[in-house]
Each structure stands twice: as structure tokens, then as C-alpha cells.
Structure 1
């Protein structure tokens, strides 16, 4: 084993490899240069386990040679080309006082090598994708895409958010379109995701600028935990349900054909990077204005100029949303129809809201941490997307309540927006299965990834909500749910043409919130909305945004 540092080169020599060392040249890359060691002969100093290596250098260097359980030090004699002398120092490996002891590392290596199963797993995992190796076909066969309760008329076509964090927008519009398609007798339909994406970005920029000003006035400046948190990703793609209410009730909706996708909507990273750059710059300028005791009028004027720059970026990258549009279409009876010219807000109020009113939906969450009891209302500090808009509110309930309310909604024909941690125990290709047993970590690694409780996963940073999708079906046996049908927004290449199947125990462990219409919620749960919400810190995991 070769280890290099700035001024030291370490070569591990075992007796079993003495002959091979005579026949090979070893190279080690050092931050400063490349060194070549060629074995010549053993030192004639009464220590047969020590080996001589010709050091082809033009300056002073030192070599540490590991010999079984000791380190023997050689150094070049100044002024004598190619000559080495033994430094009078030998250190036992177990006496190392920094890092992991070498003896312990040797023990780990020996224990690993003694298990033939480890070698087999190593050979396979080096060449194959880990998720493919871990899959359990027997579990996949037990989760067919068949359900005894589904909403009628699932939306078509299957949507695809591509390389963006707009899942929360797609999930909302996918639920919204189901009743709309039935009422307008269309077989295929999408609302414009780009429209909501544009206005969320614009409103959120304003919300964040106001937050920077407020922080400065409260003495929270650059370097504080709060300001640092707010600057991590101010152009975040992801969102929460109440943010959708804010954008839709103000800016409305429109058919996708009237404001189509843009490249920077389908692949948003570069656009968001540019906005992040400007928002951090704006934060610095606004906080300086506050510190310098600028007037409110001067601060507002500066902020308006900043917002104009954000509007320019969004318009160039996403297009300018039309103030009015005309929607022309054929229904499924091949009859021509036309709506418009009409404003997006009027289109929502007149044609969509009577069928699906986003303001009538309540976000029910499952946060089992002991410090956040059930039956209480929560919000998260500085979590939002519209100044003066609806705050993000969570009604915390046991997981069985979330399941029961979701079942009632599906049975009534209304799909359910939900948020989860999609990266856990998930086999996407090809079956699309969310199941605690679908990946066999014990077989390959001899360990479990489910040692922590749901509460502990939240508290120790192992889990939080990352993705929003739609529940469109459930399998109920003996009055209990056994599996769930999930409409995703990653295209139709995986699962059942883009639909996933989720086991009931996966729901228990990794679903964090569902959005339910008030008419399905009992009074004891609905009345929680009358409470004064407990404010969680801005960095709390319940402030995570659906963004995958």
C-alpha cells in the first residue's frame, strides 16, 4: 500500500510480497511531483525484513517503510546521490496518535477479505448500478399495478417535469385537470406548468427581498444562521401546497397550449443559478441600505429595480405569460369549442374553481417528533412565496388519519396531492415500486437502512419531504389499505406508463403530507385551523420543499 504526503512517502512491505517487490517499479503521485521507487536489495544491517529502495531524486527526502507492525524511517544523506541512511527511529503502528490506527484498518481489511460473500458483492457492485443489484424480484411480483378502488378518468397524457424541481406544480395541475377534463369532455389535457412556474419565481423573489429587509431591521445580517439559510437557494424550484394557493388565486391558470414549456422550465438549473447570483447581490445591497438608515422610499425604489431585473431574466428564459389568451379545442365528440379572449385569473374563477377550488384544500401532515404533538397547527418561519399571502400551514395528525382521509377522497372520485421522501426504498426502473422491502441491503451489505424511527429520521437529518405526486388509487382489504396507486410526473417510461405502486408500510414511513378537501375532513381535525400556529425555525425539516 502506497501513501503519500507533502514530504513523506509511505510504502507498505509484507514478507509475502518480498519477491514481487524485487521485480516491480512502484510509482506514487505526490502533490509536488511523481516519485519512482525501484527495489534493489535488503539492507545489510541485521534486520532482514527491511528493504532498500533507490530514490531517484535531486533533493532531500524521507521514506517511511511499513514493515508488518512497525514503521522504519530512511532518509537521503545530504550531498550523496542515491544514498540512504537508516534514521534511528521505529514506531509501532498501534501507537499512532492521529486518525484511525493502522492496526484497526488492517483488522477491517482482514475481516472483509475473509467473507467470500463480500468479494462476490464487491465484484458485482463495482460493475453494476447499486439499485439494480439490490432489487428483489419476489417483492416486485407481489405488487402488481391492480387496485380495487381508483378515481375515474385518470388524467392524460402522463406529464414530465424533466430536469426541474416543479413536481409540486405538476402534481397540483394533474389533480386539477381530472374534473376539468370530464366537464369539458376532452381526452387529453394539461394546464400550463410554465405559467405557474413563472409567477411563483417572480412572487418568490419579491417575498425573499422583503425577508432580507426584515432580517436586516431585526439585526440579522450576513453570517447569521437565518440569513445564511435564506441565501442557500433563493431561486428554489420546489414548493408547498399553500404556495400554490397564493399563485393560482392571484395569477390564475391557463391551458398548456396557450403558454407552452420553455427550455429553462424543463432544465432550470442555469436560470436558477443566475437568479441566485442576483438575489444574493440584492440581499447585500438591501441590508446595506437598512444599515445606512436609508428611507423606506429609497429601499422600496431599490427593491423595485431589483424585481425588474428578475422579471427580465424570467421573461427571457421562460417567455412572457400572456395577459389574455384564447383556447380553441375539439372535445371528444369532435365538436369545435372556443373560450376567450380571457384572462388567466378569470379562466380559473369561471371554469376551474367551481370544479376544483384550491383554497378549499387543507394540508394534513404527519410529524411524529415528540416536541410537535398531534392535533396542533404549525407553520415555518420565513417559508412562503408571496408577501402578504397565505402562510404555509400544517395540521399535524397521526399517519392513520392521513390514510383514512385519502381513502375517503379517492372513493369520492377526487385524487390527492401528497408529499413524500421519494428517494428511500424506491425501485424506479422498470416496475416503479415504493416498498420497504424492495431493496435488499441485508443481502448485499449485511445491514439495514431502517434502524431509525420516522421521528428520528426527521431529527437526525435522514429524511424529509422531497417530492410531490398524486394518489389516484388504493387497494382496500378488510377495511385497511394495502397499497396505493401513484401518478408521478417523470414521464411514462417506468412503472405502469409512469404510474407507481406504493406499499402501505412505505406510506407510513415516508409520506409526510396529504392535501384533502375540507368536505372530507371531520370537525375535530378541521378545527385545528382555528389555533394559533406554532412557528418552527426556518431550517426545520418540515420546511422542506417538494423539488424532485
Structure 2
């Protein structure tokens, strides 16, 4: 029997809707805006022409030689890998006297997929043994997108220090590197299935050795899937090239790890010498403390993801000092906010929502955006230039992206200093640019944030 309810008109009262419409119709500007927005991209309508006509890609300080060619991650979330490789190649090209060069992003992509699958299965085993419910917040979070393409800086350190680097010519991208969605879906499918099997094994009282054997069987299957999709990275490489003087050069046979240790780490770019500075202004997370995020990593037993929380001006100062010394800076930001991809601008003043819609998209401050889920780090890029005013404050930044040459100024973005303040969350700089008192924080015990905290977000954005 269907139960009958006596109720008044559901939802918003009809007279209230009528009042909304009457007020809307009373302002002719609303109809003009409606006519335009119904036929055009909203961002083109709210774009302030006087703002975008002003900026120029000229900076008081810029690294002497930027990397070539402009890289393109295509339809994948590998921006964090590309930004790192782009940072290293600047110093590497200078050392080797070469002009055009790329490291193999697919090499690190392959090993990240392998290691991260093992990490998540090991973490799930640990969590299940503690009696966590599968539909609880923690496991639900970990199973939401376990094969995520994105990452953070310390995950790169883990990969490079174990597997090394190689030139892209020695192992180019393949289809599943450039268009990773289907591989990601397949990995997600298997990890969720494996979680089910691990839960069953734990419930049946399996020993630690039995669970380890079960995971190894799962990882054998995962290795097969990833190797078929991406290929198997070479164990040794031979790199032949001409330098700028047209002289033939050869490196190898050599392993990718030895290539990194001998040709990069010693005198070009030491991954372990970098420090991650973040700007998280939420009142519950004070500055001048070390933080990590629970179950945020890509490799068992490896370096944890650590960052020192600092006021945004510290991030700017350290980044500017690095650029002045001809060293580019890996950074993480919420790129989609106040952004025009085609023109290549990140500017909080470039869109006039108030004129068109009578509202603003900047109604929350940086802290509240994190708290209410309005913003977090989504993309990693490279800072290669900065303009510094006479009073030593910064005004604008030059950014090397990894979306090809058809965005911005042949692949480069201009970011205003105000945008940096509002939407940049991480910078990675060499320790020599970090004050001693901030470096000392790295030796303290980190505060552990929950796995779902926004500061655990992974840089992953493909072209917008």
C-alpha cells in the first residue's frame, strides 16, 4: 500500500520564484547578458580586455636558457613528472652543451604505476588488518582513484633515486602514456578487485606471509598489464648525440640509475637537496611546522611526502632567489582558477563576473577555499622568470607549462603575483635558498594529516 502524504506545494514557493523572475526581468542588463552567454563561452563573455592587453612576457629576472622543445603531456595527468624533467634538463643541457633534449617521462610513468599499485595494496592490507570498514571514509578515499596519474615532489625523488633517468630518445612515449585513461581504469578495476580478495583473506585469518604471497601474485598480474600497455623499460641504454659544436658524443651502455647518478646527481641536479615549501593558511595548520599526509606515497619503505608550511611570502622569496641564480622552480597550483588557457594567463583580475552575473568567484579566502573544497593543488609547472619591484616585492611570474606550444606564449604562461598568493600551494627549491631556521624544521617530527586532507592532493591536470 502506497502511503499518502498531505503536503503543500513542494520546493521553493511559486510566489518566491515569481519574485525572482520579476526582479531579473526588471534589469535590462540581465537580458543582454543572457543573450550573449547563451551563445558564447562564459569565460569569453566575462573576460576583461583591458587586463589581457596589458601584460608582456618581459621580466626583470629570467633563467638564461629555457628548455627546448616545449613539452606536451597530452591526455595524461603526468604534469608533475614533466615539470620535474623540465627543471632538470635546463642544467643538464648546459652541462652537456646541447640545445634540444627531453628526458623520458614514460620511464617514470611506468615505474610509478608499478610501485604505486604495490603501495596501495600494501596499505590496504594494513588498514584491513586494523578492522577498518571497506565502506568507511579511509578505504573509500583510497579506492576512489587508486591509479591516479598525478603526484607530489617526494614521489619523484623516490622514483628517480631508485630507477634513475634516461633520455626520451632511448625510451619514447607510447599510446597509453599519452592517453592514460583506459590504462588507469583497468588498474583501478584490478585494485578494487584485489582489495576484495585481501579483505576475504584477512577475514579468513591469513598469516602475514600468506598475505604477502597473495599480494605478490596480484602484483605479477599488475606488472603484466602495465608492461603490455606501456612497454618494458630498457635495463641499459646507449645515448648518442651531437652537441652544440656538432661533435659526436656517446654515453653508455649504462643503466638508467647509473646515468642519473653519474651524469646528473653529482654536479647537475641532486633530487635529495630540494625542500618542499607549502602555503596552507588554515588556522588549524600553523606555519613553521613539518607536515605529512597519511597513506600519501607511491613506494613502500621510501622517503615520506614531507613539506614545511610557510607564509606565502617565504615561498615567493625562495623561488625568486632560485630564478635569480638561474635555477627554475617546480611548483604546484590550482591552475584552473582565474585561468585562460589559450591566452596563457593566470590572473585574479582578468574576469568580471560581477558585471555579467552580479557575483564574484573569489568570495572565499585561501584558507576557506581549502576548508570548503573550493581549491587545492591540481597542476605542477615550472617557474622560469620573475619581475621584482624596487621594494623587493614580486609582481609577475613566467611559467613553463607542459601542454605544447599552442597555449600562451609558445607554451609559456604569465602568472600575476596576486594569483600566486591565492592559488599557489607548493614550491620546490634547493636547500641553499631556504633559511637555516626553516631547514631546521625538516628535522622535526611531522604532523600527520588525514589521507583525505586537501594538502594531499596530487598534481594531475591535463590540458584544460
1:162 CA drift (Å) = 0.7
1:405 CA drift (Å) = 0.4
Which residue of structure 1 lines up, in the alignment, with residue 353 of structure 2?
Answer: 441
Structure 2: how far apart are the matches of 1:468 and 1:494?
16
Q: What does 1:340-419 align with in structure 2 at a 5 Å threshold?
A: 340-354=252-266, 355-419=268-332
Aligned partner of 2:151 among 216, 239, 242: 239
**Higher strand proportion:** 1
Alpha-carbon displacement from aligned partner over 1:9-61 (angstroms, at most 9, x marks no partner)? xxxxxxxxxxxxxxxxxxxxxxxxxxxxxxxxxxxxxxxxxxxxxxxxxxxxx
Secondary structure in 1 matching 2:286: coil
Structure 2: how far apart are the matches of 1:502 and 1:96?
53
Structure 1: how far apart are the matches of 2:57 and 2:234?
40
Which residue of structure 1 lines up, in the alignment, with residue 340 of structure 2?
Answer: 427
Which residue of structure 1 lines up, in the alignment, with residue 3 of structure 2?
Answer: none
Structure 2: how far apart are the matches of 1:130 and 1:326?
51
Structure 2: how far apart are the matches of 1:487 and 1:193?
16
Aligned partner of 2:448 among 512, 521, 535: 535
Structure 2: how far apart are the matches of 1:524 and 1:123?
57
Q: What does 1:208-219 align with in structure 2 at a 5 Å threshold?
A: 208-219=120-131
Q: Which runs of 5+ in 2 are unaligned?
A: 1-5
Q: Which runs of 4+ in 1 moved over 6 A?
A: none
Which residue of structure 2 lines up, in the alignment, with residue 494 of structure 1?
Answer: 407
Q: What does 1:24-423 align with in structure 2 at a 5 Å threshold?
A: 96-354=8-266, 355-423=268-336
**Which stretch shows the higher mean deviation, 452-461 or 292-301?**
292-301
Alpha-carbon displacement from aligned partner over 1:487-511 (angstroms, at most 9, x marks no partner)? 0001101211010000000000000
Structure 1: how far apart are the matches of 2:98 and 2:32?
54
Which residue of structure 2 lines up, in the alignment, with residue 460 of structure 1?
Answer: 372
May I ask how many residue pairs the two structures share in their alignment? 454
Q: Does the CA contact (< 8 Å) of 1:96 and 1:102 recur in 2?
A: no
Alpha-carbon displacement from aligned partner over 1:268-303 (angstroms, at most 9, x marks no partner)? 101100000000000111121111111222211111
**Which stretch shows the higher mean deviation, 105-114 or 448-457?**
105-114
Q: Does the CA contact (< 8 Å) of 1:381 and 1:536 recur in 2?
A: yes
Alpha-carbon displacement from aligned partner over 1:430-456 (angstroms, at most 9, x marks no partner)? x21110011111111111111111000
Q: Does the CA contact (< 8 Å) of 1:410 and 1:416 recur in 2?
A: yes
Structure 2: how far apart are the matches of 1:448 and 1:295?
57
Q: Does the CA contact (< 8 Å) of 1:379 and 1:534 recur in 2?
A: yes
State the TM-score, normalized to the length of structure 1: 0.82
Alpha-carbon displacement from aligned partner over 1:63-96 (angstroms, at most 9, x marks no partner)? xxxxxxxxxxxxxxxxxxxxxxxxxxxx9xxx94
Secondary structure in 2 matching 1:485: strand
Structure 1: how far apart are the matches of 2:146 and 2:67?
32
Secondary structure in 2 matching 1:484: strand
Alpha-carbon displacement from aligned partner over 1:459-503 (angstroms, at most 9, x marks no partner)? 011000000000000011111110000000011012110100000
Which residue of structure 2 lines up, in the alignment, with residue 54 of structure 1?
Answer: none
Structure 1: how far apart are the matches of 2:203 and 2:303?
30
Which residue of structure 1 lines up, in the alignment, with residue 436 of structure 2?
Answer: 523
Alpha-carbon displacement from aligned partner over 1:362-389 (angstroms, at most 9, x marks no partner)? 1000000000000000000000000000
1:221 CA drift (Å) = 2.8
Structure 2: how far apart are the matches of 1:258 and 1:235?
26
Structure 1: how far apart are the matches of 2:98 and 2:339?
33
1:481 aligns with 2:394: yes
Which residue of structure 2 lines up, in the alignment, with residue 513 of structure 1?
Answer: 426
Q: Which has the higher contact order (CA 8 A, sep 6+)?
A: 2
Alignment root-mean-square deviation, CA: 1.1
Secondary structure in 2 matching 1:127: coil
Q: Does the CA contact (< 8 Å) of 1:143 and 1:433 recur in 2?
A: no
**Which stretch shows the higher mean deviation, 216-225 or 402-411?**
216-225
1:97 CA drift (Å) = 4.7
State the TM-score, normalized to the length of structure 2: 0.97
Secondary structure in 1 matching 2:72: coil
Secondary structure in 2 matching 1:332: coil
Which residue of structure 2 lines up, in the alignment, with residue 17 of structure 1?
Answer: none
